[in-house]
Structures are given as structure tokens and as C-alpha cells.
Structure 1
């Protein structure tokens, strides 16, 4: 400012301090101190503002398309897909809280050579009874068996490629089988999504863009060239993007480009976010560079994340060693049931609470890890009611609701003249909207998790050090309790986690 205005910093500070209107703020004075402006905070005014006003979130315009979850058809959803599902779901809710128009897309892996393999496996070993009883479990078993048998039968891989070629060419029998496998998978997927509390605005897949792939190729006419019979887009500093193989077949990248162009034409988004593992960095770098060459520079963004790590390293579906999301969620709920029976067997609606806490524990364990890092899954930490976990946040919320019920209070606000503990809690409550904005800008829900943990710790310190019920300041302190519970519930909701009233 000093350079642009050609004035001394001290003069600018003096003018700024004199021009600030602090009447509708928590500050009581602004004083120039050399090149700086010192603002003096009125603690009681801050506390009263926090208690009397709802959090005010920045409101943004614009449209964002978020591509997340994206499991593969005919395979159970592995724990590795949890990251994309819950990170993407949280970002959708966060963006909407800031007033943006959001389109959540589940882009299924429903096309490719693996479906030719599955068709071959079904014809050889499929069972109608097993498919009816447990569709994905049976299809998964067939896929695993195909690869096991292929170790000794070299012809199977070619049979799989031939079957997929027939599917691409519109063979009626192959198409019918593929549609059956896809429909059965979607029914099973929806059960898991309901348990996670996740929904999508659009559910589509690669197959929907098989026909549009030629349109994407046509759009690249001015930037594509032939190389050894294949059609590619040459890119600086990275391998070329392969649009069409020498035999005329399109690829995943072609369909991804077609999907991106379709979303741009349909939604006119400011951003296309892809919540996909970091191992796909090159693919998205290529895709976004091609989009830039087509006039859509900067619209695509890869929201990458690390992996789940277990003792045996990365998970494999082919050999049947994948850790399934359904199994992890069911185990978490079962463990919470045991805790409830031990600590609060008379709790009302125990099954609902077990679901809320068990599933919430798994979601929070994922989201509380910076998405750039790998997640090391540890059951003891995930379900620790006193540590940095989802159950700890939920328990703090339930404890506050218990205090309010005991006092017979609705959290009504009265003028407050309170001390240091109240001020620290109020100051942290006031920071909630800025933490949500920070999480949106960084595409990192763990910022909200960290905030909620800090808020719980601050509240529990307040609870231990300050008498609430029966004190001279009972009403404003109860109002502070109610506001804390409200913010915890709002924060958990943004993460896709329930806030039980009792635990």
C-alpha cells in the first residue's frame, strides 16, 4: 500500500485506524502504532456475539463438479475406496455450506477387459443360486478364480479379451450378462452408501461414454497426431495421451476426456474435481493438459490422497485379499455394541447409536488424516473414546446435551460477563466459519476434524475448571455449552457423521 499510494506506512496506519467502524464488531478500539494498527478486543462483547449469533459462513458463487467414490462394478467396495467416498462426500457438503452449486458424481468402473474375463468366468463356473443369494460375493469369487485358473491355463486371458471385444461390438448375450452384473452391483453398493450416509447427484460410468469417445477424438482433431498407427496428443514433459490404439479401440483416458467434456457442456463448472488416489497423478496431468489445449485450462483439479496401509502392504482384489469396506464398518459397529453393553446397557435405541458411533469412527479416522498422507488403520485408536477420534467428539457432544437436559436449559442467551475459560472457548467457537473456508480452499476435511478435536479439548477443560449448574453465571455458561454442542453437531454433519444426543 505504501508503494502504490506513495505515502509512509505510518501515515496509512493512522488513517486506517481512524476510519474503521467497530460498532458492529467485538473490538472496542483501533490505534495506530507506527506502521501497524492494533485492535483491542472486548472479551465479553466477543462472548455475547458468539452466544447470540449463528455462525456466518462466507457465501460463494460458482459451480463445482466433484467426482468421487467410483468403485468397480462386480467387485466388493474395498476399504481403499473409503478415502475417495468420504473425502469427496465431505467436500460436497462443505462447498454447499459455502453456497456453491455442487454436482456430486459417482463415475463407476463399469467397462474394460475385466468384464470379458468375468463373462468367461460366469459361463464356466457361474451359479444362479449363488448370484441371487450374494451377487457381488459370487462375482468377486469368479473374478478371483479366473486369475487363479489363468496361472495354469494361458488361453483364458485371450478368451477374456475376445469376450470383451464381443461386448464392445454389441453381442446380445454379453450385453445381457454385463447389464445383470452392473444392476446387481448397484443394489449392493447402495447398501454400503446408505450405511455411510453418502449420496450422489449423478451415477454414471465409463460405459456411458463409450459412444461419446469418438466425439472426444473429433474435438482433438487440431491437437492429435498419428504415431505407429495410434492416435495421440503429444504433451510437453510427459508421455503422450493415447486416444485410440492402432486397432481402433479407445481407452479409459478417451472415455475420461469424453466425460470431462460432457460435464463442461452440461454444468458449465468453474472446477472439475477428481477425488482419486495419488497413483493417478500422471493420468490427470495428461487429461488436464489436453483440456487446456482445448480451451479449458485450469478447470480440472486432482484432489489426490494416500493409501490405506496394512501389514501386507497394498491390497489386491485379484487374489481375494482385499479388506472390504462392509467388513470394516460391520466390525466397528459390533465393537461399539460391546462398549455400550459394558458401559451403558440401558441406553435407549442402542442399535442406532452403535451404527452412528461405529460408522462415524471409521469416517473420522479417515478424514482426520491429511489426505496427502497414507492412513494406517489401528482399531484401538479408531474407537478410543478419550483420544483423538470420532467417538471422542461424539461423546463430548452427548455429554454437553446431558448437561443441558440436567439443567432443564434450552441454551437461551443472557448477557455474559465471564472469565478466561469462557473467553478461550468463545474465541474457538468464533473460528468455526474460517476453518470451514480453510478446509474448502485446501480441499482438506482434516482441517475441520482438527478444529473439532481442539474444540472438544477446550470444552472439556472448561467443564473441568468451571462450575456450570448452580453458579451465578449458570445461564450464560449453559448458553456457551449449547453453542458448543451446536457447532460440534454442525462440524460432524459436514463430515457425514451423526451427533448422538446420548451415548
Structure 2
């Protein structure tokens, strides 16, 4: 693109003696490779006819090296087709990494003592892919996790767990490793049920929730620590199966609580308001809502813990940006917490960024089980596996690709409508289709050595169209990085595979007189597709 811009800018300067930035947009193949409205912009400055300006530019540029066809269209657009050489340059010229920031991003945050539900899985995949985009832009990226290991949900599980062990924590040893997830789900479900329906149990659970902060009973502590570790093992396993890269640090609410409460107390009067023993942030003044950070009993609530977490991240990484991916309903909550942090801690000004997401819905409309519990990630894995038309050693990688792509192809903030049956198809806008499209091209390259001395010049029309699509990669990646929008890259990846499959179905490769050029072209395609899949976190398969 730099080469084209240089040609146009020098031409405009020679005709009109002005230095004008020239921006090109990709255009439909029927009209060319690129289009620019620079003549229409110049017309405003020069007070001249835009179409005549465009014609003057075209007449001067017609014989320029690298431009095959150029013409004026409409009121003053300039459409042009470029040489194959220019498109190859766009592919091979490495993109410079411009982002030098240190960033932290929470790539998973399900709570222990509960099952990981589909919404958690969605946010995990989205956050991990945003981290990949940040890394690919050059940012020094740190993946961390944050988990609620104290509070009411812990009390609900501990109520059931303590009844199960009956004073003997070694009874937990009777639970097989492969049954721990199901067991923990049952414990939480039982505790949740009695909390709703039994006032006496509710009071006991509230007490057990408070005990999670102090761990002063040896039996409670042993059961708590054992089951918390089980939960983390389960979370780590599911997050890995989703295709996420490992985190380098695990933060806990129990670690952040005291620091957050202390910070809140230090800023009563200038930032926070004390009312009836509780300490509140007047978020309604800042577009959020009034939120209690410290309860009347002196215990820290979510806001205080998030305030503590922000300081822990700053202590450990000194990030210029800290990203948190959450559900949409937490948007206003984080607006208030972020504002409170900036008022209390000026060194955190403009650091924390909340990225709210939509929700995940099934095409059936069903997002909860018969007892009303939200569906778990484990359930989704099992459903996808059952939906596969055939089975192989690649099943796990295909399931991961199917889930990630369904999550990533939708614009952040929009709801994901998850079609379990459709997500596994090898045709259409699916993860397995992308994986198959890579394997299909790889099989060609595995049969013949890619020529090293072949130049991609004088390509036929259908070859040029595929080359044009490949050459979009750097522009697409830059936009996805700038907007932190995985769907931009996901949608391009699908278009790229469509272009390849359309080309391959119409053109013989091995044994054709244009074999060298076509193998070279497919080599460029596979390398570009692999880069896309790697950033999206979709497993690359050489055979399907």
C-alpha cells in the first residue's frame, strides 16, 4: 500500500503542488483492486471539478509501474487494478509492531466451588483472543486470572461439603478424580436450594460464607482448601480445552479484600460516603449507580475487592492498560469501580478498561437445565462431540475450533446464538470449515515442494482474486488490533477460506502447466491462514 500511496502523492504534487494523503479502499473485483476518493477531496481545496481532477491524475499515472488499469468512475472516484507484484509486496513486507505498551488482561475468572458455565467460557475465549491481538501488535501482554474464593457462593458449597464429610475431611478422598466436577456441582446446587427454602440453613450458610475470609476452623479449612484446589484444576482443564493460553498469575478475592477495604476506609469523605455503618461510592454522580463497597458489618464487597485487585496488578506489572472482559450487565458496575479507583489512586488514571460482552443463547432458546441452573461448559463440549458427523483423533481440536469460532465471529457486545449442530459442519461459516480449508491446502503442499524461484507475476484472473484476498491480511489485522475486535479477523478468515475453496474447485493445481505459480500461491494462502487461526486460537490441523 505504501508503494501505491507514494505513486499517487508524487503525481498529485507534480500536478497541483500540494501534499495530499491518499487513502485507498478495497473494491469489488468487478471494479478493480482499489479505489480512492482523493480527487473529490482535492476538489474542495482547489475549487475545481472533481471528475476533471481525477482524470488529470489518471492521465499522469496511467503508465506508472505496477498499475495495470486505472479509470475514473462516478463523480470522481479513481478505480485501479494493480500488478501481482504489488499485491505480493503487501503480503511479504512485514508489519511493524507499533504497540509498546505493557498490558494486563484477565483471560479467565470463573469462581471456584461452582461449575464453569457457558458465559464464563465465552468471556474466556474472547479475552484470550484479545490478548493474542495485543501480543501480535507488539504489546508486552500478561495473562492473569481472578477468582472469587470467598463469599456467599463458598458458603453454599461449604454447607453441603461439611455435611458430606461429617467431621472427617478424608472422606473427600473417596471422590474419583473424574467425578470431582460433578460432585462440586451437586454440592453447590444443594446448598443453593436450601438457602432459598430453609431460613435456618440460610443463617448457617451466611455464617459459613463469613468463615471463608478467616479459615479459623481446621476442618473447614481442610475441606475449603482441598475443594478450592479441585475447582482450580477443573477450571484450568476446561480453559485449556477451550484453547486458551496459560495464565501467568492467579489472583484471588481473598488476596485483594484487605487491601481494597483499607483503601476505601482511607478515602471516606473525599471519595466514599459512610451511611448507617456501610461505606458507599456515589456512583450515580458519574453515570453508574450508588454502590456499597464495605458492608455495615465491616466486610469488603465486590467493589472493594476489585479496588484491591487493581492495586495488586499495578504492583506486579505497572501496566499502561488493564483489560477486564465481563458480561454486559456489569458495564455500569465497572464504570463506578473504575471511577472510584481513579479518584482514590491517581496513578491508575485511564488504566483499567472494561470490555462488556453480549450473552450466549442456543438456537433452541434453552440456556438452563431443568432445575434452572445455567448450562456448563462441560455440557457444551459433550453436545458438540455428539454433533460431530464422524470421529477421529482430531475430535478435541475440532470441538475447540467449533466453540471458539462460534464465539469469535460475532461482534463484541452482540449476543451469540450458538447453533450446536451447525457449529460442527465442514461447510459454511464454522470453525471446522476453516480447519478443513487449511488441511485441504496443506495436503497439496505435502505432495510437492513449493518452488522457491517462481515469481507470482502475470497471474490469471482467478489466481489474482485469491492473491488480492491474501494481501488484505495486514490491513485486517491492524484494524482488529486497533479496535480489539476478534470478529474482524474471524470474518476475514472465513472470506479467505471461501476464496481459496472457490479457486481450488475451479482450477487444477498438480499437473497443470501453471503448477508452480499455483503451488506458490497456495503456500502464501496456507501461511496467511495459519497466522489467522493462531491468533483466533483455533487449532491448525494438517489432516482431517
- The answer (yes or no) to whether the contact 1:361–1:382 under 8 Å persists in 2 is yes
The answer as to whether partners of 1:412 and 1:479 remain within 8 angstroms in 2 is no
Q: Distance in 2 between matches of 1:426 and 1:29?
A: 17
Contact 2:106–2:143, Cα closer than 8 Å, also in 1: yes
Runs of 5+ consecutive residues of structure 2 not aligned to the other structure: 1-19, 21-39, 166-170
Give 2:154's aligned residue: 115
Partner of 2:252: 205
Distance 1:42 1:147, change over 3 A: closer
Q: Aligned-pair RMSD on alpha carbons?
A: 3.5
Structure-1 separation of matches of 2:461 and 2:66: 16
Q: Greater relative contact order: 1 or 2 (C-alpha under 8 angstroms, separation 6 or more)?
A: 1
The CA deviation at 1:315 is 3.7
Measure how far apart 1:479 and its partner are: 0.8
TM superposition score normalised by structure 1 = 0.86
Q: How many residues align?
A: 487
8 Å CA contact 1:357–1:391 kept in 2: the answer is: yes
- Mapping for residues 102-181 of structure 1, pairs under 5 Å: 102-126=141-165, 128-133=172-177, 134-173=179-218, 174-181=220-227
CA 293–413 in structure 1, closer or farther in 2 if over 3 Å, else same: farther
1:315–1:203 CA distance, 2 compared to 1 (3 A) = farther
For residue 228 of structure 1, the aligned residue among 276, 286, 291 is 276
Cα shift readout 1:59-118 (whole Å, capped 9, x = no counterpart) = 311122112321110222122211111101111111111110111111112111221222
Match of 1:104, SS state, is strand
Report whether the alignment pairs 1:190 with 2:190.
no
Q: Aligned-pair distance for 1:135? A: 2.4
1-side partners of 2:356 and 2:262: how far apart? 28
Using a 3 Å threshold, how does the CA distance of structure 1 residues 211 and 9 change in structure 2: closer, same or farther? farther
Partner SS for 2:212? helix
What is the alpha-carbon distance in structure 2 between the residues aligned to residue 314 and residue 284 of structure 1? 25
Of 98-107 and 161-170, the range deviating more from structure 2: 161-170
- Residue range with higher mean Cα deviation, 204-213 or 462-471: 462-471
- After superposition, the Cα gap between the structure-2 partners of 1:416 and 1:289, relative to the gap in structure 1 and judged at 3 Å, is same
Per-residue CA deviation, residues 441-483 of structure 1 (Å, 9 max, x unaligned), is 2222111110011011111221133332333322122111111
2:424 aligned residue (375, 383, 395): 383
In structure 2, the CA distance between the partners of 1:28 and 1:380, relative to structure 1 (3 Å rule), is same
**Residue segments in structure 1 that go unaligned for 5+ positions in a row:** 341-349
| Equivalent position of 1:304 in the other structure | 356
Q: Distance in 1 between matches of 2:491 and 2:192?
A: 43
Helix, strand or coil at the partner of 2:528: helix
1:26 Cα shift? 5.6
Conserved 8 A contact 2:83-2:457 = no
1:400 aligns to 2:452 (yes or no): no
1:466 aligns with 2:482: no
CA distance in 2, matches of 1:150, 1:240: 27
Shift in CA distance, 323/166, structure 1 to aligned 2, threshold 3 Å: closer
